[in-house]
Chains A and B, each alone.
Chain A
Amino acid sequence: MIRLIPRVENSTAMVLLSPLLALTLTALSAYLIFVFILVDIPVSSVFFTLFVEPLIDSYYFSELLVKAAPLMIIGLGLSIGFRAGIWNIGAEGQYVMGGIAGSAVGLYFYNVEALWLLPLMTVAGILGGMLYAGIAAFLRIRYQVNEILVTLMLTYVAVLFLSAMLQGPLRNPSGFNFPESRIFHDSAMLPIIWEGTRLHIGLIVAIILSLVAWFGIKKHMFGMQIKISGSAPRAAKFAGFDDNKTVWYSLLISGGLAGLAGLFEAAGPAGQLTPGLPQFYGFTAIIVAFLARLHPVGVLFSALLIALSYVGGENVQIEYNLPSSITQIFQGMLLFYFLACDILIKYKVVLFKTKN
C-alpha cells in the first residue's frame, strides 16, 4: 500500500526536483500518446521537431523568444496578483483592451512620425489593461463580486469589442473592408533587437520588469503586503495593511502588464490591429505563473518552456500534419504533472505492507 505522509519540513530537494520530474513525466506521456496516434512516422523525429529543433534553429529560436515575451510580461503580473489571492483569470481580456487602446493612439497619429509616439502608445496600452482590470477591482471592493467571474466574462466582451472596433472606427479606410486596422508606420512599431527576425524590445522589457518585481516582492513591504494578504488576511489587518489597496494593486498591476503585452503584440510581430490579436497568451500565462511557483524570475524560464511548446507544436503541425491541439495537450499535462509533483515537497511517499 502506498501512503503520503506529511514531512516535518518542506523538502528543498523536491522544490528543485519536482519541475524536472514533471517535465520527465510529461515527455513520457507525450511519447505514449505519439506511439498510439502516429502511423508511419517515427516518434523520435516528431520529438526532435517538437522539443529540439526550436532550440537549435536560429529562426525558430527567435520565434520562441517572440512568443515568450508576452507570456513573461503577463505571467509576471499574474504571479503578483495570485500571491495576494486575487485570481485574475481574464488577463486575455486586459491584453486585448491594452492592444486596442495602444493601437488606437498609434492609429490616431498615423501620419505623425515622432519619438514620443511609441511611449505614448505604451502608456495607453498599460492604462487600457489597468482600467479593464479595475472594473473587477471596483466590483469586488464595492459589491463583493467575485473577481474570477468578472475578469473571465469580461474577456469575451473584450474580444467582441475588438471585432466591433475593427468593423468600425479602427478599420483601415483603404483596406477593402477587411476587419483590420492600418499597418503601423515605423515610429509606431517596436524596435527589433535581433536583425532579420521579429524579436523586439519586449523581451528586454520583460527581463527588466522581472527584476523590478523581484525587488518589490523580496525587499519591499509591498511584497510582504501581497504575500500576507494572500496567506493570512487577518494577519494583514493586524500588520496595518489596507485590504482594499491589496485588491487594487493586484488587479491594476496584472491588468496593466497584460495591457502592455497586448500593445507589444500589436506594435511588434503583428504590426497592425487584427482579429488575430488574442492568441490565448492571457490564459497560458496562468500556467506560466504557476510553473514558476509565482516567482518573478522563475516566470522568465517557465515562459520559455511554454513558448517552446508553442513553436514546437506549430512545427509538427506543419511538418507532419499533426493537429495543433498537441500544444494544448502538452501544456495541460505539464501543469497537471507539475501540480501533482509539488505534493512531494510537503509529503513523502511511504510504502506499507498491509497488516493483517
Chain B
Amino acid sequence: MKYQLEVSNITKSYGDLKANDNVSLRIKDSSIHALLGENGAGKSTLVKIIYGSLSPDSGEMKWANNEYSPKSPFQARENGIAMVFQHFSLFESLTVEENIILGLDSVGLNDNFSEQIIKYSKQYGLDINPQQVVGDLSVGARQRVEIIRCLMQNPKLLIMDEPTSVLTPQEVADLFVTLKKLAADGCAILYISHKLEEVREICSEATILRGGKLVQSCIPQEHSQKELAEMMIGKKLTELARANIAVGESIFSIDNLSRKSDDIYGVNLNNIALKINKGSIVGIAGVAGNGQDELMELLIGEISSPKTTLNFNGQDIGTLNSHERRQLSMFFVPEERLGHGAVPDMSLDENMLLSRPDSTEMTSNDVIDWKKVATHSKNVIDTFDVQTPSSRMLAKSLSGGNLQKFMVGRELIQNPELLIVAQPTWGVDAGSANNIHQALIELADKGSAILIISQDLDEILSLCDKIHVLSEGKLSDAVDMKSKGLEKISQLMVGGKTQ
C-alpha cells in the first residue's frame, strides 16, 4: 500500500499545553481520510503543521516517501498540498476568475484561466461561471470557487476544514460527488469534520484525536455513529429523546412581521408568521444570512416591532425591550457569543447581569447585590459543567464551548416559559452539544416552549417537533415531515417552493 502522506509522532506544545502529543497519521493514495475530534482536540494544530504554517517540536513527516518538513504554506503548496479553509478568503467585488488568479502562487501571462476553470468545473461537477461576481454567489458556490482554486495547483492532497457546516443538504450531496471523483482521480483528501454521518458516508479511514492525543485510526463504516462520537469525547453519550411531548395551548405568536433592514447588506423580513405552543420545540432552519440575525434582533427586543406583531401569553410585547420581555419569562441566547450574548472583557459574574429579571433578586431598584450575583453564576457553572477556575474569570478567557454552556445555562436556570435560542451548539464540541440538547429537551418536557434558529439541520431534525425554513427573509409554513420532509426542507432552503 502506498501512502501519500505519513505523519509520525508529531508533538507540538504551547507552554504547558500539548496541542499535539505524539500524533501519527497516514493518508493513503487516492483516499478520503477523516480527521475527527472535538474543539481543542488538536485537529487545527496538526493541519497547520501539515500545511506548513506551524513547525512541530518533534516528529517527522514523509510526503510520497520523501522527507517532508515545510517551512511555509507556500512550500506545502509547491509540494502539492492545497487547503480549503472553513472561512473563505474571497473578494466579494471581484469575479470568480479574478479571485482564482489572485489565489495562485505563480501566474503565466498567457494562461487561459477561463477555459481551465470551465474544464475543472465540467470534470468535477463544480457548477460555476468564471465571469460572475463572487458577491452574488451562494455559500455553496463560493466553496466551489475555493475548490477550483485549489485544483488549479494540481494537488495530490486536498485538506477540507468543516466543509459542510454551511451547506444545504443538496449542496452537501453535490460536494460528495465531487470529492469522490477527485479521490478516484488520484487526489487524496483529508476531511476534517465532526459530522459523523458524513464521515461514515464518504471516508474510507478515520483518525480520531482527543486532548491532543491519538485515540485510534479506524474504518468508520465498522463503527456506529454513536461509537465514533464516544471515541471522540471519551465518555458515554446520552440518548436524546423527549420523555413527554404534551403540546399545550399557544404561548407565543408572530403575526405578519415585516421589517426593512437598516443595513444595506441586511435582509428584509417579509410577512413572518409563526405560532408556538407550550411544551413544543419549534425550529427555524435555513442557510445563514437569510434573515436569522434580523429576526433574532426583533425577537430579543433590541429593535422594537410594530404593534400586534408579537404576542406572548396574550400580551402585545412588540414595543418592550429585552429586559421587560425577560420579566415576562421570555429568555434569549443569541448566536454571537463574544460581544453580543456576553461581554468579552467582563467577568462571568458581571455577565450574569445581562439577563437579570427581578425574580432573581440580583438587583433591587437597580442596586446590585454582588453576593446574589455570585451565587447565581456559581449555580450556572455547577449545573452546566462550565470549565472555569472561578466566576471571576473574564468571559473571553473561556473556550467557545464553555462560554456557550454558560450563556445557555444563564437563561435555562430562569426556567423560561419561552426560550429563543440561535445556534445553540455552534462551535461546541460533541459532548457539550449533547448536554445542551439534553437540557433543552428537559425544559420542553417540563412544559416550556422553545424556538431554535439554527443552520445545523441535524440539530433541528433531532430536536424539533415543528420545522419552518427561513429563506431570503421569508418564513415558510411548518413543513409536513410525514413524506419527503427532508427534500422539502432542502428545496425551501434554497428559496424554492413546496407543492
Contacts and interface: CB of A to CB of B under 8 A. Distances in A.
B487 interface: no
A205 to B, nearest CB: 23
B312 interface: no
A41 interface: no
Nearest to A215: B367
B397 A234 contact: no
Nearest to B366: A221
Contacts of B326: 240
Interface in B350-402: 350, 353-356, 363, 366-368, 370, 397
Contacts of A57: none
B37 interface: no
A46 B420 CA distance: 68
Given A228-B343, A235-B340, A240-B322, A219 B353 contact: no
Contacts, number: 69
A186 B206 CA distance: 89
Q: How large is the interface on B (under 10, 10 to 19, 20 to 34, 35 or more residues)?
A: 20 to 34
Contact of A232 (B323, B339, B355): B339
Interface in A212-259: 219-222, 224, 227-228, 231-232, 234-235, 237-242
A278 to B, nearest CB: 36
A242 B356 CA distance: 16
A9 interface: yes
Contact of B346 (A231, A237, A238, A240): A231
Contact of A219 (B323, B339, B367): B367
Interface of chain B, main secondary structure: loop
B321 interface: yes
B354 A228 contact: yes
B368 A238 contact: no
B334 interface: yes
A238 B354 contact: yes
B325 to A, nearest CB: 8
A237 to B, nearest CB: 4
A232 B338 CA distance: 9
Interface in A1-47: 8-9
Contacts of B334: 238
Contacts of A242: 321
A232 B321 contact: no
B336, B363, B368, B397: residue with the most chain A Cβ atoms closer than 10 Å: B368
A239 B350 CA distance: 12
A154 B326 CA distance: 42
Given A235-B354, A238-B302, A239-B354, A224 B368 contact: yes
B345 interface: yes
Contact of A235 (B339, B363, B367): B339
Contacts of B302: 234, 237-238
B367 A238 contact: no
B62 to A, nearest CB: 25
A355 to B, nearest CB: 11
A8 B15 CA distance: 11
B15 to A, nearest CB: 8
A345 B350 CA distance: 21
B301 interface: yes
Contacts of B344: 231-232
A224 B346 CA distance: 10
A8 B332 CA distance: 30
A183 B143 CA distance: 78
A238 B341 contact: yes
Contacts of A234: 302, 336, 339-340
B431 to A, nearest CB: 24
B345 A231 contact: yes
Contact of A237 (B322, B366, B397): B322
Contact of B332 (A9, A224, A228, A238): A238
A219, A231, A239: residue with the most chain B Cβ atoms closer than 10 Å: A239
Nearest to B322: A240
B350 A224 contact: yes
Nearest to A224: B353
A249 to B, nearest CB: 13
Given A220-B368, A239-B323, 8 more contacts: A221-B353, A222-B366, A224-B350, A224-B353, A231-B343, A231-B344, A238-B354, A240-B322
A-B residue pairs, 3 tightest by C-beta: A240-B323, A237-B302, A240-B322
10 contacts: A219-B370, A221-B363, A221-B368, A232-B339, A232-B340, A232-B342, A237-B302, A238-B354, A239-B354, A240-B301
